């Protein structure tokens, strides 16, 4: 092994562990060559003693219960409805192996450990706030997944966007991974999945002479970043969106709002057990409410629960 790099020797000697994991151990000081901590690219001379002290990796705690505050809107023996706060990741993944909604659910509802993804059937982006439903039984999870597949779950969002948006519209454009930037999604992607977003304008305003609007968006599909991608493709990026910001005016720099201005304010579905249609409604989180006066809008422009229920009833009848 003389002349070989330490990380290559470790990979060949410990094939049960990934190269990334072994490199992380080296960087954490958990690998010693002749009793000394060194670097992954260290070239061995031959005859050294290498000791490896295996470390627990963050993903090992991905499904660990954590006492995380949750705003539970509704719960019964079949479903749980959460009003997710902005900044909370829904499901553990690289970079966020703990502190997620899933960890909080397992702490509050230990029985969810027996369900795939702890009963989670759909997600919201980390910095999108609003309503989500979680299954509490296998039967409920099957029912909710089927409803989502059949597009009968009603999901309505409030989106604050830059630009002079029309009174209403519908976006029909596939959504898939951006081939030039793997961290982004793209509308019209050849490898994307069909996606549809219906919107209507609730209010118009301006900030430093730049037009903006409040839209109500209804999802007919549920693709990753769908609303953000679809609205940006029309030239109406969300206020505060750090990723999808084409045609964001320069004056946005003087508006302090550090997440996409998107809130899932209404959720309707057929209860998995009783088959009753149920609807939940929640006004935007505090940061969005505080944003309104800064952009020349009042709370009066927000939807009212009574009008929402009537609209949802009309949707079911049609």
Catalytic site positions: 125
Q: How far apart are CA 112 and CA 120, in angstroms?
A: 9
Evaluate whether 257 touches 286 at the Cβ level (below 8 Å): no
CA 1 from centroid of its chain's CA atoms:
46
Question: What number of other Cβ atoms are within 10 A of residue 142's Cβ?
Answer: 13
Question: What number of other Cβ atoms are within 10 A of residue 111's Cβ?
Answer: 11
Evaluate whether 171 touches 270 at the Cβ level (below 8 Å): no
Complete DSSP assignment for 183-203: TSEEET-TTSBP-EEEEEEEE
Encode burial over 306-315: b for 16+ CB neighbours within 10 A, e otherwise: eebeeebeee
SS3 141: helix
SS3 287: helix
Q: How far apart are CA 238 and CA 43, in angstroms?
A: 50
């Amino acid at each position: 092994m003389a002349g070989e790099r330490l990380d290559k020797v470790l990979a060949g000697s410990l094939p049960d562990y990934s190269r990334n994991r072994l490199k992380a151990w080296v960087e954490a000081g958990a690998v010693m060559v002749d009793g000394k901590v060194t670097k992954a690219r260290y070239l061995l001379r031959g005859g050294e003693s290498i000791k490896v002290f295996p470390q627990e990796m963050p993903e090992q705690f991905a499904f660990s219960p954590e006492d995380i505050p949750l705003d539970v809107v509704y719960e019964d023996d079949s479903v749980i409805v959460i009003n997710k706060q902005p900044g909370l990741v829904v499901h553990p993944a690289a970079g966020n192996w703990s502190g997620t909604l899933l960890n909080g659910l397992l702490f509050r509802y230990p029985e969810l450990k027996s369900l795939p993804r702890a009963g989670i059937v759909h997600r919201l982006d980390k910095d999108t706030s609003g309503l989500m439903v979680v299954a509490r039984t296998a039967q409920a999870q099957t029912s909710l997944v089927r409803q989502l597949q059949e597009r009968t779950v009603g999901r309505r969002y409030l989106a604050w966007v830059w630009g002079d948006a029309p009174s209403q519209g519908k976006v029909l454009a596939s959504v898939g991974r951006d081939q030039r930037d793997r961290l982004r999604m793209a509308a019209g992607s050849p490898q994307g999945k069909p996606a549809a977003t219906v919107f209507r304008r609730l209010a118009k305003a301006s900030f430093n002479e730049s037009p903006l609007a409040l839209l109500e968006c209804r999802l007919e599909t549920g693709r990753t970043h769908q609303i953000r991608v679809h609205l940006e493709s029309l030239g109406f990026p969300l206020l505060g969106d750090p990723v999808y910001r084409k045609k964001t005016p320069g004056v946005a720099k003087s508006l302090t709002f550090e997440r996409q201005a998107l809130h899932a304010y209404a959720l309707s579905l057929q209860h998995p057990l009783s088959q009753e249609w149920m609807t939940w409604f929640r006004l935007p989180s505090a940061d969005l409410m505080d944003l309104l006066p800064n952009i020349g809008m009042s709370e009066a422009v927000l939807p009212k629960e009574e009008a929402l229920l009537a609209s949802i009833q009309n949707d079911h009848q049609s």
